[in-house]
Amino acid sequence: MAFLGKARKEDLIILARELGEEVTPDLKIIDLRNLIVASTNYEMEFVKELLNTVISQRTEEAEQRKLEQRKLELEIEERRKREEREFELEKLKLQNESFNSAGNGSSRPKIDFLSMIPKFDQVNNDISLYLILFERQAQAADVPKEFWASHLLSLLPYETAQLVAREDVGISRDFEKVKSLLLKRYKLTAEKFRQLFSKHCKSPTATWKDFAYEVRNYFHGWISGLDISTFDQLKELIIVDQIKRRVPPEVREHYIDEWSQLNNVEKLTSKLDDYDAVRTKRDFHTSTPRKGAENRAYPTLKQKRYPEQSPKFSENPKPEKKENRSTLICYGCGKPGYIKAKCPSCTPREKSSSNSITLYTCHASVSPTALLDIRIGDIHGRVCADTGATRSIAGELMFNSLRERGVDFQKMEVTMVLADGSQTNMEAYTAPVSIDIEGRTVPIEMLALPKAKGNRTLLGTDFLEKSGIVLDLKNKSWYFCDKPHHKICFKEDLDVNSLQAAGSIIANSCQLREDEGTTLTPEQREKMSCLLEKFDSIFKPGGDPTPYAEHHINTGNSPPVAGPPYRMNPAKRELLKKELDSLLADDIIEECESPYASPVVLVPKSNGSMRLCVDFRKLNATTIADTYPLPRMDDLLTEAKSTAYMSTLDLKSEYHQIKVHEADQDKTAFICPFGTYKYLRMPFGLRNAPATFQRLVDKFRAGLKNVFALSYLDDIIILSETFDQHITDLQIVFERLSLFKLHANREKCHFARDRVKYLGHWITANGIEVDQEKVSAIQKIPVPTNVKEAQSFLQTCSWFRRYVPNFANIARPLSNLTKKNVQWFWGPEQQDAFETLRKSLITPPVLKQPDGSKPFRIRTDASSYALGAVLTQGEGPEEHVIEYASRLLIPAERNYSTTEREALAVVWAL
* Angular region, 46: left φ>0, alpha ψ -120 to 50, beta rest: alpha
Q: How far is CA 498 from CA 147, 315, 384, 444, 454, in A?
A: 74, 38, 8, 18, 10
pLDDT number for residue 354: 39
pLDDT number for residue 358: 47
d(CA 401, CA 378): 10
d(CA 217, CA 582): 47
Neighbours of 874 (CB within 10 A): 16
- Overall fold of domain 848-909: Ubiquitin-like (UB roll) (3.10.20)
Superfamily classification of domain 356-489: Acid Proteases (2.40.70.10)
pLDDT number for residue 106: 45
- 608 phi/psi in degrees, rounded to 5: 95, -15
d(CA 131, CA 177): 13
Total H helices, total E strands in the chain: 30, 29
d(CA 169, CA 151): 15
Radius of gyration of the chain (CA): 41
Output the CA angle 271-275-281, nearest 5 degrees.
Answer: 150
Output the CA angle 453-458-464, nearest 5 degrees.
Answer: 160
d(CA 377, CA 382): 14
Locate all alpha helices (DSSP H) within 552-616, ordered by sequence.
570-585
Closest CA to 867 of 828, 900, 827, 834: 900
Q: How far is CA 804 from CA 781, 801, 909, in A?
A: 18, 5, 16
Eight-class DSSP state of 331: T
From first CA to last CA, the distance across the chain in angstroms is 46
Polymer length of the chain: 910
Contact 423, 358 (CB under 8 A): no
pLDDT number for residue 836: 85
pLDDT number for residue 554: 93
d(CA 66, CA 680): 46
Overall pTM > 0.75: no
Query: Which are the contacts of 783, defined by CB distance < 8 A and separation ≥ 6?
Result: 826, 831, 834
d(CA 82, CA 817): 77
d(CA 526, CA 2): 58
pLDDT number for residue 284: 44
Kind and range of the H or E run holding 679: strand 675-679
Kind and range of the H or E run holding 321: helix 319-326
Closest CA to 526 of 538, 511, 508: 511
* Chain centre to alpha carbon of residue 616: 27
pLDDT number for residue 683: 92
pLDDT mean for each 10 residues of the chain (910 residues): 75 81 80 80 77 82 84 82 68 55 46 64 66 77 76 70 63 72 62 67 67 71 69 76 76 69 77 71 45 38 37 40 47 58 52 43 46 82 82 81 80 64 70 87 84 70 89 84 80 51 42 78 85 84 86 92 86 87 87 91 74 90 90 74 81 86 92 91 91 90 83 85 89 90 86 81 74 68 84 77 76 85 86 83 60 76 79 69 76 83 84
Q: At what angle do helices 807-817 and 828-840 cross, to 10 degrees?
A: 140
- 37 phi/psi in degrees, rounded to 5: -65, -35
pLDDT number for residue 819: 83
Concatenated DSSP letters of 115-133? GGSPPP-TTTS-HHHHHHH
Strand partners, 410: 430
Q: 522-770 belongs to which CATH class?
A: alpha beta
